[in-house]
Structure 1
Amino acid sequence: MQKLNLIQSISQKLSEKIENFEKLIAETRASSNDTKSSMGDKYETGREMLQQEINNLQVQLNEILKQKDFLKTILPKPSEKAEKGAIIKTEKGLFFISVSLGEIKIDNQKIICISPESPLAKAMNGKIKNEVFSINNINQKIENIW
């Protein structure tokens, strides 16, 4: 399991998301400029709705930028316990405690990227290989940690 490849892949996915949000914001701003009309109130309502959409997209973009900054703090070093930057294998799958990105595929393996603040990461936190943790009254055993 190459942790560096995993981190680079996540970084690439986050960069793509950033690019998409920046494009959406630019397109929404452009359409905001195109909606000029002599309708008065309808025009203002439409502009306000577009501005709210831009604000929502900006919030989502800022969240992804924060995730990208956080990812930079993760070192591709081996882990001995469940912590930020650890890859953990349980009978339910592989989990990478990094950023909340969901499932990604590396070398034909599904890895679920979870935030250190997620309930699952908190339940695993500090545990070592062969220890059991419980989440939602379901016990899981840590089979391996990288």
Structure 2
Amino acid sequence: MNKKEILQILKDKISAKIQSFENLITETRASSNDTKSSMGDKYETGREMLQQEINNIQRQLNETLNQQNFLHKLNTEICTKVQNGALVKTDKGLFYISVSAGEIVFQDQKIMTISTESPLAIAMWNKNENELFTLNGQNQKIEYVS
């Protein structure tokens, strides 16, 4: 599998997510400006709720920007053990050790993207092909690492 292409799919997904958060912040700010009313406290409560929503979206945007920065530094060379940038096939599925961005599809194969902090990545960290690891009481075998 071409890890450069997989990484590009993931970068595109993260970029789309960033754009979505930025649009949502812009729309929420615009609606904040439209909520002017002569209702006094009710107006202030509404504005505060909108500001909290903007802050929440901003936090999510910052996390996604951090993921994007991480991906720009990720190496696409072949890996011989489970590490950052490794594509790992176990008897349970195919995993890309990078950032937690859910499932992507490459050449009709589902690949689950997981972060290095995920319990699964921690359980198989530094292991090689044909090694076993246990997660949640279930044994899994690493079929290949690239």
* TM-score bin, normalised by smaller chain: over 0.9
> Is residue 97 of structure 2 the alignment partner of residue 104 of structure 1?
no
> Is residue 76 of structure 2 the alignment partner of residue 56 of structure 1?
no
How many pairs are equivalent? 146
Q: What is the letter of the counterpart of residue 145 of structure 2? A: I
Provide the rounded CA distance (Å) in 2 between the counterparts of 1:35 and 1:52: 15
Q: Deviations over 1:91-129 (max 9, x none)?
A: 101000000011110110000000001010000001000
Provide the rounded CA distance (Å) in 1 between the counterparts of 2:104 and 2:127: 24
Query: Structure 1 residue 59: deviation in Å?
Result: 0.3
> Is residue 73 of structure 2 the alignment partner of residue 73 of structure 1?
yes
> Is residue 97 of structure 2 the alignment partner of residue 94 of structure 1?
no
Query: Structure 1 residue 75: deviation in Å?
Result: 1.1
Q: What is the letter of the counterpart of residue 107 of structure 1? A: Q
Q: What is the letter of the counterpart of residue 109 of structure 1? A: Q
TM-score (norm 2): 0.99
Q: Any residues of structure 2 matched to 1:1-146 within 5 Å, and which?
A: 1-146=1-146
Identity %: 60
TM-score (norm 1): 0.99
Unaligned runs of 5+ in 1: none
Query: Structure 1 residue 72: deviation in Å?
Result: 1.1
Provide the rounded CA distance (Å) in 2 between the counterparts of 1:74 and 1:19: 21
Provide the rounded CA distance (Å) in 2 between the counterparts of 1:46 and 1:19: 25
Query: Structure 1 residue 89: deviation in Å?
Result: 0.3
Provide the rounded CA distance (Å) in 1 between the counterparts of 2:138 and 2:72: 33
Query: Structure 1 residue 50: deviation in Å?
Result: 0.2
Q: What is the letter of the counterpart of residue 35 of structure 1? A: T
Provide the rounded CA distance (Å) in 2 between the counterparts of 1:117 and 1:135: 14
Query: Structure 1 residue 73: deviation in Å?
Result: 1.4
Unaligned runs of 5+ in 2: none
Matched residue SS, 2:44: helix
